[in-house]
Chain A
Amino acid sequence: QVQLVESGGGVVQPGRSLRLSCAASGFTFSNYNMHWVRQAPGEGLEWVAVISSEGNNQFYADSVRGRFTISRDNSQNTLSLQMHVLRVEDTALYYCAREINWIDLLDYWGQGTLVTVSS
């Protein structure tokens, strides 16, 4: 069955960096675009970033562009999110989710990994 398992979350001080990972299984990872979506405590969903199936195209939310980098390793079925210059407002549960095509996206999500930015 399809599984997406995020890891790498934790408590970090403002201005520091953190790297999240998402391990995929149960489907052909290299055929799917992959997304990160986050949710601050008690708040709604916020789309963060997407990477194409081959890894050659990325798009970002305005709030993270220039600070976050999405990447993937299709040989390891792994998605990553490198986060730099973290802010208090980046505190959230970070989910990875898959997209098969432009009509059919975010059908499966991981359980999320919590990032807390605090001094």
Chain B
Amino acid sequence: DIQMTQSPSAMSASVGDRVTITCRASQGISNYVAWFQQKPGKVPKRLIYASSSLQSGVPSRFSGSGSGTEFTLTISGLQPEDFATYYCLQHKTYPLSFGGGTKVEIK
């Protein structure tokens, strides 16, 4: 089974900051990574699919990159509505696996 190690598990940031979240896969998974945002009490929302494709309707300050085993989600210019928990997901093989999550909090 493939493990997704996500870091950091939590972070504090200010409005306007550039934020980078990383997921490392235990083996190569090409570009089969998606990123999700979840706010408290809400349903997860897909931001990025195929490592770098932006979901329709998601602001362009969100971007994804990576291939193989290293993947990043970048928020360029953090906005108040971006404070949430973010998860990566590998979908190269079953069983699918999520990263442990990154909680982005207000500094």
**Residue positions of A touching B, CB distance < 8 A:** 35, 37, 44-47, 50, 59-62, 95, 102-107, 109-112
Contact = CB atoms under 8 A, between A and B. Distances in A.
B27 to A, nearest CB: 17
Interface string B69-107: 000000000000000010101010011111111000000
A106 B43 contact: no
B34 A111 contact: no
Contacts of B34: 105-106
Contacts, number: 54
Chain B interface mostly: loop
Contacts of A95: 43-44
B32 A44 contact: no
Chain A interface mostly: strand
Contacts of B97: 47
8 contacts: A59-B95, A60-B95, A62-B95, A103-B50, A104-B49, A106-B44, A107-B49, A110-B43
A112 B42 CA distance: 10
Contacts of B55: 107
